[in-house]
Chains A and B, each alone.
Chain A
Amino acid sequence: MRHITRSLAGLILTLLVISFVIFLVMEAVPGDPAEIMLGTSAAPDTLAALREQMGLDQPFFVRYLDWLTGLLQGNLGESYTYRTPVSDLIGERLMVTLPLTGLAVFLSVAISLPLGVLAAARPNGIIDAFASLFAQIGIAVPNFWIGLLLILGIALTLGWFPAGGFPGWEAGFWPALMALILPSVALAIPQAAVLTRVTRAAVIEITNEDFVRTARAKGASPSHALWRHVVPNALIPVVTMLGMQISVLIAGAVLVENVFTLPGMGTLAYQALAQRDLIVIQNVVLFFAAIVMVVNFIVDALYTVLDPRLRTRR
């Protein structure tokens, strides 16, 4: 119990430091949100009026504390450009980003786990050769280019999936899902390539351990030794990698979102940055930081599930 409280305290402290750093960085970056919103013809008094309205004429620490107190009350503030609460904006975008990330992670695990394990089971065999090729290409090719190829080849030529855009979950479960499939594949392939490599390396390393030889000597069949003894042990580095990938996916899908015109979190962050919508940027970056920490927290917890040796440690 104390362990969890300590972790939570650490989490909150880290987030606090991150929030201050974000605020500091946005302060230093050139660009005036009022000018961007009103355009270059705006007169100085109009700009001043807007800055007052947005609260930008207040000193640094006043604005920072206002933001923090708002956060504690669950009020993330209102976007300068959209004039809607930031929490609404994030909520809307999560409706796209979370399913997209989930689908991408599922696909990448579904591809890489079997592929990596089978490749490692027979090193230098046919599956291993294919896995190596897949890994090389998947890591080398950028995900947005894969996305463009998918649009050209599958969406436009075959017409099985939409070429972009997101109709919204109100348009029905299937239409919305169809819009997410090609982007998920584009995101999943590079991730699967990395995971395949990691899985294969982990499995090969564990296979050479003494306890595996013992299991075989005791009469376990090769496949029993593989799936019952090797794989569970190999999962730890894989889960670590997966945790890192999820964090990257949630924040870094902006290129694929751009190609497929999906209104996700990545696009929100990018647009907000270009328009110096400080409130959105602050909250979104903090949100990403929180997600990374939560995912790490879960991965840590998962270790105790995967590795019984960690459970009894105090």
Chain B
Amino acid sequence: MKRNLQLFLAATTALGLATAGSAMAEPRTDLTLGMSIEPSGLDPTAAAPVAIGQVVWQNLFEGLVTIDEDGEVEPELATSWEISEDGLTYTFDLRDGVSFQNGQPFNAETAKFTIDRIIAPDSINGQKSLYAAIESTEAPDSDTLVLHLSKPSADLLYWLGFPSAVMVEPESAPENATKPVGTGPFEFASWKKGNEVTLTENDDYWGEASKLDKVTFRFIADPQAQAAALTSGGVDAIPEFTAPELVAQFESNNDFDVVIGTTGMEVVAGMNNTKAPFDNVKVRQALMMAIDRQAIIDATNAGYGTPIGSHFSPSDAGFEDLSGVLPYDPAKAKDLLAEAGYPDGFSFTMKVPNRAYAERAAEIMQAYFAQIGVMMTIESSEFPAKWIQDVFKDTNYDMTIIGHAEPLDIGIYARDPYYFNYSSPDFDATMTEIANATTEEERLAAYKKAQEILANDVPALFLYAWPKIGVWKAGLEGLWTNEPVPSNDVTDVYWSE
């Protein structure tokens, strides 16, 4: 009798432990993500900072279309669209049964409101120029939105997938900077300024429910502190880890996954193309050939990053590797300089923003230029305020260096005025070709041509494409490898253990 009781007790204990064990093994449904920069406001249509999209794009806000991990346009709140023959009329079929997180319905009226707000004369949307081709909008019925363009713009669909064009609704729009209301799978829960933003699951989401019920974005500026937070469990993932030198310790640690990808940011050393000697293409080419791009990547980013030969990121469709057009060749560089009329070299000043990658790269470039007889003085420029005013607006500089984070922004070389002071009728013509393209092949072929023009003309020294160094706990699935659009899309993230 006693023996049976003992056996019985043992069995129930074992069973209890087993169920307790499996209950503990149930995967987590919350996620804490680390980011280096805190967004200033949560409305991507009213302010530019990249950090805003990195919190809310696709998680809280959605657009007519979206851009997937390969840089391709996919339907989202618009299920299909038609573009007229002349490229001047876009007709979107909108998705049914979608509502905003405050209960208001999404329909053609709110879509029209969103686009009108972007192109309005008093609009404060920093990316308004991308949508400049839109002349007027129309909502013939509650499921259809029509855009009338003043000129063809083949990239418009891509721009409509950007964070700056997410769908908002009239009642909540003014408060979106502090209480964002969108149509995404997560809704806004709280924002402890200076600390973290928390999103919780939106139970009324129109699409597939996410597997997470809570996502917290924690802002940690210091790279060492980021590494400490990962190790101590303070954060579960840092999709853009800012200390490349510390990556090795996570690579050798089985508790973490290190996933390296690309972003849409190109680090380029811009030159003032209207100021001698930078107005001479041979001088620019010589300077490009004086530098070993890989050495810069190794020194500034511990070897992570992709050398580029033109203003295009490997994560964008249509990328062509042109880093071999003007490769590292100091002898040839010296010849080119002599041909251009500077056999003894020359001297100039480089205005460098106070960011670690820029400062390190500048020092290395200084050494490379000295090899071909070009003396460069480094001047530090406070970023963003002083640099934007001095270099970007007043173009009071010889050479500078900065990372251009906007995706697919090769068009900046056709902009006038723009800080490069570069002007090429051939390039402008290619940009028009891109806008007028009627097929994807035409568009991509024109992009290739644009890249080639820049690779030969080097209005700026094209250095490298910024890497995306993702470090997160092993067992976390669904985080993106690449970041074609500044974002942290967590809609498909889940814990596998």
Contacts and interface: CB of A to CB of B under 8 A. Distances in A.
Interface of A: 29-32, 35-43, 45-46, 49-50, 53, 81-84, 89, 92-93, 148, 151-152, 155-156, 159, 162-166, 168, 258-261, 263-264, 267-268, 271, 274-277
Given A83-B41, A274-B384, A165 B392 contact: no
Interface secondary structure of B, over-half rule: loop
A83 B42 CA distance: 10
Given A82-B177, A155-B228, A261-B219, 13 more contacts: A29-B385, A30-B385, A31-B384, A39-B48, A41-B129, A42-B48, A49-B124, A84-B178, A92-B192, A93-B194, A164-B232, A166-B195, A261-B221
A42 B231 CA distance: 40
A89 B178 CA distance: 13
B388 A82 contact: no
B121 interface: yes
Interface residues of B, number: 44
Contact of B218 (A163, A165, A260): A165
7 contacts: A31-B385, A35-B389, A39-B48, A42-B126, A82-B41, A84-B178, A259-B225
Contacts, number: 143
Given A41-B406, A259-B225, A276 B40 contact: no
Contacts of B228: 151-152, 155-156, 163-164
Contacts of A41: 48, 126-127, 129-130, 406
A93 B193 CA distance: 9
Contacts of A268: 194
Contact of B234 (A42, A165, A263): A165
A54 to B, nearest CB: 10
Contacts of A43: 128-129
A65 B406 CA distance: 39
A181 to B, nearest CB: 15
B138 to A, nearest CB: 24
Contact of A49 (B123, B130, B178, B234): B123
Contacts of B29: none
B47 interface: yes
A263 B193 contact: yes
A49 B41 CA distance: 18
Interface centre among A43, A89, A264 (most CB of B within 10 A): A43
Nearest to B404: A40
B124 A168 contact: no
Given A82-B193, A84-B178, A40 B231 contact: no
Contacts of B129: 41-43
Nearest to A35: B388
Nearest to A270: B221
A129 B466 CA distance: 53
A260 B226 CA distance: 10
Nearest to A276: B385
A258 B222 contact: yes
B222 A30 contact: no
A148 B40 contact: no
**Which of A81, A155, A268 gathers most chain B CB within 10 Å?**
A81
Minimum-distance CB pairs A-B, first 3: A39-B48, A31-B385, A263-B194
Contacts of A259: 222, 224-225
A156 B388 contact: no
B220 interface: yes
B487 to A, nearest CB: 16
Given A37-B40, A164-B234, A258-B221, A30 B124 contact: no
Given A41-B127, A53-B124, A164-B220, A89 B389 contact: no
Given A39-B49, A259-B222, A268-B194, A83 B231 contact: no
B456 interface: no
Contacts of A89: 193
B229 A261 contact: yes
Contacts of A277: 40
A36 B388 contact: yes
Contacts of A275: 40, 384-385
A168 B192 contact: yes
A312 B390 CA distance: 61
Contacts of A159: 232
A50 B124 contact: yes
Contact of A46 (B123, B229, B393): B123
A82 B194 CA distance: 10
Interface in B249-269: none
Contacts of A29: 385
Interface string B39-51: 0110000011100
B497 interface: no
